[in-house]
Amino acid sequence: MKTIASRPLGQIETSMALMHQLNGSTQTTSLLSVGGTLTAEIINQAAAALHARHPLLHSRIEERADALHFCADVPFEHIAVQCLPSRTGTTQSQLLEQQLDQVLDPSRQLWRLLVLSDVQATQHLLLLTCHHAIVDAVSLVQLLDEFLDDCERLCSGLTLQCDVEPLAAPLEAHLADASAPAPMCATPPGLPYLQTLALEQRTTGVSRLLLQRSLSNHLQRMAGQQQLSLNSLLAGALLKSAEDIGCGPQLRIGTAISLRQRAARTISRSSIGCYIGVAHQCLNVADRALLDLATDYQQQLRASLPMQALRQPDIGLSARRQGIDRLRQQQGFSQGIALTNHGNIHFSPRQHLHVHDYVNVASRVAGNFAVAVHVTRFQGCLSLCFTFAKPLMSETQIHLLQRKLLRALLSLNPVSEVTS
């Protein structure tokens, strides 16, 4: 009898799974714009090879004895892989919204793939949607790169290599043994939005702000001159702008931190899994300059980083469920803003296929973040994807936030180049 790979979920994986179950989903979607001839047969063969190679991709989540487990027994036939004609008149933001609002059932599958192709089958949009318990930003790029590698081999008439990877260990296997409580920051009063609106009545909003290469490079230089990371400069502008749209003078910001290089045991970039921590800061933003806010954010974030690489006490599945349920019931956006910076995105060069664009989004429609911003830098351009829960936050508010953010960045006197 064939042994089915299985293991309990780690703490970050469990949190992602419970948030998905109780708080409107934690799934994430990456959109890749690709040029080159791809047929439905090639796409399905490459997707099947990807599924076979990684146990987390042929896993589902089940509960056993007050713990959640990955059970790697999902056949490829159960995975939704679709190859369809391009949807005329549908924007990339609308496609991303649709994928986030089509919630995965983790008891059946943890990922899916949609490929939209033009009539000539030479221009394609690949939308990879995954449950956040099995991927982080690095994993998403790794999976897409592997998928394109397999497509490239098939386009060249070669056979695929399908050696199965071992089931990835949870984050705890890589953390330091020392244990300490996570630092807590004050939670400001909730904002008076329609938080009582049922999850079923909420949808995901996506709006992208794309900063062209000249502006992106200028901001990078400005950040360096101020001894700031580009992430901190963006955070300062975001916090400053969020106050202007009514998010209050004291704003909580949650920042996703990759622990692949910070953990006691370094995690390979090729390891598929969710290896992140979330650092929270609460900053007073009233009457403060952008650079002052950015500096404060960077200092608080750096101070919290050592805590992220320590094992935290496991509070158990029932206590986690109760905490998430309390979060959902709160009458306001308890965490304000989420900021995730995926950094520079690179895909391997290929003869038959060419990557033109990359976008990533994730969202929870529970609305415990007023807005989540996903930042990527691809081919020199800086992409900021804003996700939000409609109608808790309106598109009008998001567009105002983007305009104010852009104005704050342009106040640093860069060359003005932006598209949205």
Beta bridge partners of 76: none
Q: What is the pLDDT of residues 195-215, one digit of tens each?
A: 567 788 889 999 999 999 999
Q: What is the pLDDT of residues 154-173, one digit of tens each?
A: 999 999 977 888 898 999 99
- Tell how strand 203-211 and strand 418-419 pair up: antiparallel
pLDDT at residue 416 in the model? 45
Asked if residues 188 and 365 have their Cβ atoms less than 8 Å apart, the reply is no
**pLDDT at site 4:** 76
pLDDT tens string 114-154? 999 999 989 999 999 999 999 999 999 999 999 999 999 99
Q: For residues 51 and 68, what is the distance between their CA atoms, to the nearest angstrom? A: 21
Q: Which amino acid is at 19?
A: M
Name, in order, each residue with C-beta under 8 angstroms of 338's C-beta and a sequence gap of 6 or more: 253, 254, 255, 256, 369, 371, 372, 373
pLDDT digits (tens, 9 = 90+) for 375-389: 999 999 999 999 998
- The closest alpha carbon to 58, from 128, 20, 111, belongs to 111
- Our CA dihedral for 91, 94, 96, 101, rounded to 10 degrees, sits at -160
334 falls in which pLDDT band (50, 70, 90)? low
Q: What is the pLDDT of residue 331?
A: 55
Q: Is the pLDDT of residue 363 over 90?
A: no
Measured CA to CA, the distance from residue 57 to residue 36 in angstroms comes to 26
H-helix segments, 106-170: 137-155
pLDDT at 415: 44
- The pLDDT value recorded for residue 1 is 41
Collapse the DSSP code of 124 into the 3-class scheme (helix H, G, I; strand E, B; otherwise coil) and give the result: strand
Q: Is the pLDDT of residue 46 over 70?
A: yes
* Confidence band, pLDDT 50/70/90 cuts, at residue 406: very high
CA 87 – CA 90 distance, rounded (Å): 6
For helices 290-308 and 230-242, angle between their N-to-C axes, nearest 10 degrees:
120
Residue range 32-51: average pLDDT?
96
Cβ count near 317 (within 10 Å): 18
The region of weakest confidence among 101-115, 136-150, 180-194, 364-378 is: 180-194
Contacts of 78 (CB under 8 A, 6+ apart): 108, 109
Give 188-231 as a 3 state SS string.
CCCCCCCCCCCHHHCEEEEEEEEECHHHHHHHHHHHHHCCCCHH
Cβ–Cβ under 8 Å, residues 16 and 133: yes
Give residue 22's pLDDT: 87
pLDDT of residue 187: 62
Whole-number average pLDDT of the chain: 90
First to last CA, the chain: 55
Q: Tell me the C-alpha to C-alpha distance, in Å, between residue 144 and each of 37, 53, 81, 339.
A: 17, 13, 14, 23
Has residue 333 got a pLDDT over 90?
no
> Could you tell me if 309 and 279 are in contact, meaning their C-beta atoms sit under 8 angstroms apart?
no
Q: Do you know the residue count of the chain?
A: 420
Residue given tokens 């071992």 in the structure block: 166
Name the pTM for this structure: 0.94
Instruction: Please give the share of the chain, as a percent, with pLDDT higher than 70.
Output: 91
Phi, psi of 219 (to 5 degrees): -65, -35
What pLDDT was estimated at residue 326?
76
Sign of CA dihedral 25, 83, 384, 419: negative
* Alpha carbon distances (Å) from 338 to 82, 115, 159, 235, 314: 31, 29, 43, 10, 24
Tokens of 132: 């956040």
Contact 394, 378 (CB under 8 A): no
pLDDT of residue 414: 44
